[in-house]
């Protein structure tokens, strides 16, 4: 049975350029827009909520090793942390060239 995850992106009328850039970035990561909702919280500051979804893909098991950092099986990041004791991928990910770490929920 296919499972889906959802993401909500607030889009304020005074910052639509940033919203468009973020929506493009999400689309490149496999997110598809499925809905929009709007609200007028105060006069002149309308808020739109963009709703995205993508299929959950279960990553394969890590190689038989105790090393924590492995190639990210989802392909979204360079490395993903493997918890050998528990036997699953963690949300800790890294981009090697930028030397940054991030949190990205594994798709399990």
Q: What is the CATH number for 9? A: 3.30.1660
For residue 8, pLDDT over 70 is answered with yes
Q: What is the mean pLDDT of the chain?
A: 81
The verdict on 46 and 76 lying in the same domain is no
Would you say residue 69 has pLDDT above 70? yes
For the chain, the 3-state helix, strand and coil shares in percent, each to the nearest 5, are 15, 45, 40
* 1: DSSP letter: -
**Run of H or E residues at 27:** helix 16-28
**Domain span holding position 78:** 69-103
Token representation of residue 56: 């959950």
* pLDDT of 29 above 80: no
Residue 27 lies in a domain: yes
Q: 80 and 51 share a domain?
A: no
Same domain? 14 vs 51: yes
Instruction: State mean pLDDT over 82-93.
Output: 82
Greater pLDDT, 43 or 86: 86
Verify that 16 and 46 share a domain, yes or no.
yes
Give the model's pLDDT for residue 11: 80
In a domain, 30, yes or no: yes
> Residue 84 and residue 65: Cα distance in Å, rounded?
7
The answer to whether residue 94 scores a pLDDT higher than 90 is: yes
17 and 44 both lie in a single domain: yes
Q: How far apart are the C-alpha atoms of 38 and 10, rounded to whole Å?
A: 9
Question: Which pLDDT score is estimated for 108?
Answer: 42
Distance of alpha carbon 61 from alpha carbon 84, whole angstroms? 10
Mean pLDDT along residues 72-94 = 85
Same domain, 48 and 82: no
Q: How many domains does the chain divide into?
A: 2
Distance CA 51, CA 33 (A): 6
């Amino acid at each position: 049975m296919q499972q889906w995850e959802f993401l909500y992106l607030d889009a304020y009328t005074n910052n639509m350029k940033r919203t468009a850039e973020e929506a493009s970035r999400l689309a490149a990561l496999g997110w598809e827009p499925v809905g929009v909702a709007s609200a007028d919280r105060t006069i002149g500051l309308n808020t739109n909520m963009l709703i995205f979804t993508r299929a959950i893909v279960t990553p394969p098991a890590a190689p038989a090793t105790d090393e924590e950092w492995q190639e990210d099986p989802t392909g979204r990041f360079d490395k993903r942390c493997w918890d050998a004791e528990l036997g699953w991928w963690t949300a800790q990910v890294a981009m090697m060239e930028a030397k940054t770490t991030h949190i990205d929920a594994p798709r399990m």
